[in-house]
Amino acid sequence: MSKVTRVATFNPPNDAWGGDAAFEGTCRRGELRGIIKINQNNCVGCDTCTAFCPTDAIRGSLGVAHKISVNRCVNCGQCLTNCPFGAIEQMSFVDTVMQKLDDPNAFVVAHPSPSVRVSIAEEFGGNPGDLTVNRLYNAFEKAGFHNYDVNFAADQTILEEGTEFIRKVRYWALGERGDDLEHMAAHPFPHFTSCCPAWIKNAETFHPQLLPHISGAKSPIQMGGALAKTWAAKYVWNVDPRNVYMVAVTPCTAKIFEASRPEFNSASQYLIRNGEIPSDTPSFQDIDAVLTARDIAEVFRRKHINPLELSDERATETMNVYTGAATIFGNSGGVMEAALRTAYFILSGNELSNPDLIAVRGYETDIVEATIPIPLKAYDGKIIEVKVAVVNGASRNIKAIVERLIDDRNKYHFVEVMNCPGGCVNGGGQPVRTMGTSWLHPLLPLPLRA
């Protein structure tokens, strides 16, 4: 088995959130910047990183230490995971989270993504997928966390994104009109997924003409943060929502950026509006900190916890209940597959005879296309052919693919875009192996199944 490399990290500097200006380059006030950086002392200028950057954000001549343009970077971390010399570093909130775990007034919640359970075993000498989810939950609890699986929120994302797509079908494909559909006039086909923060940042910066096409649904992590501090704090944990400290545990470095975005403070706005917390309470983010798979392994090491050695037994908890549709979000095509299952059921009134929509799974293909026939119960079984595409491993060629989609906007109804090859399972926050591009490595974590 290849050696897992410890990636250099750094604490956020004082100016990481920017100054008082509304915008600084492509970042708004309060948004984190410089999440990925190149160590000038370690970079040999081999130029490997530039081949994996989706936005041409890396500058430097061959043989000269490279630098990352903050204004062009989408924080995906593919340059980091593919650097042969370990010269690229990631901003880390491990120290901040460790302090919160020691704070008796803090109700610290671990919010783990499905891809983390696939990869975390490698950090402790195991193989991809060795760690069961119950062992991971037990490790979180032993470290001082409460558990709230991202899959719980991912099921809600499926309902949001799936029903949003259905409204577009009714308005644009079937010509229906009504008060519940009129806002779709400004949101035409093709419908793009919104779960990947690197893709969203890419679209905002380089392809703003696509913004009306992108789903308005939050990512599962952001849905989870808002629900944790409202519904779960009140009805499940019975704690003051102001004491809930949400820690997303993710395979993705771009989630660090996403959590800092100013619009993701829904919980505090809701709680103030409904009189559940004082009106003068300062606004707070739905997700307080983001740890990558590498970061949470460091937390476990500091706490002297090896998840592989813990019990596989655990009682079912409310916040850890989910479906297999949520689990496949971490694999390319997973969001599409899950949303199509929902759309098929609502439009046809029946479950898919075979819910495994293998045709939309990306794996190592840059873009896959499929046509899914759906009989419409409201139209006497009339068949609508839903044309979909899944963009996989966008870091290699996303610009060319997006331009192709822009040139022919009528080609597809639904498009999933994931920045990282294979989807979240190969995100920039996953374990890194020495001297090898991770997306081609023979030990790449296996695709998740429902």
Which is the catalytic residue, given 258, 298, 337, 416?
Answer: 258
Query: Is there a catalytic annotation at residue 195?
Result: yes
Place of tokens 């492509």: 26
Sheet architecture: strand order including 88-91: 9-10, 88-91, 36-38
Query: Is there a catalytic annotation at residue 161?
Result: yes
- Whether cis (ω within 30° of 0) applies to the bond prior to 190 is yes
Query: Is there a catalytic annotation at residue 215?
Result: yes
Which is the catalytic residue, given 3, 182, 263, 382?
Answer: 263
In the chain, the amino acid numbered 116 is V
Which is the catalytic residue, given 119, 215, 348, 438?
Answer: 215
Which is the catalytic residue, given 31, 122, 164, 337?
Answer: 164
Which is the catalytic residue, given 161, 298, 337, 416?
Answer: 161
Angstrom CA distances, 161 to 112, 150, 197, 387, stand at: 21, 16, 16, 16
Which is the catalytic residue, given 123, 252, 424, 438?
Answer: 424
Which is the catalytic residue, given 27, 83, 195, 252?
Answer: 195
Cα gap 4→125, rounded to integer Å: 8
Query: Is there a catalytic annotation at residue 258?
Result: yes
Cα gap 214→197, rounded to integer Å: 12
Cβ 22 vs Cβ 103: under 8 Å: no
Helical packing angle, 133-143 and 293-302, nearest 10°: 50
Which is the catalytic residue, given 218, 255, 337, 420?
Answer: 255
Place of tokens 């403070």: 265
Query: Is there a catalytic annotation at residue 424?
Result: yes
Structure tokens at 305: 């916890």
Sequence-distant (6+) residues with CB within 8 A of 351 are: 341, 344, 345
> Could you give the residue numbers annotated as active site?
161, 164, 195, 215, 255, 258, 263, 424
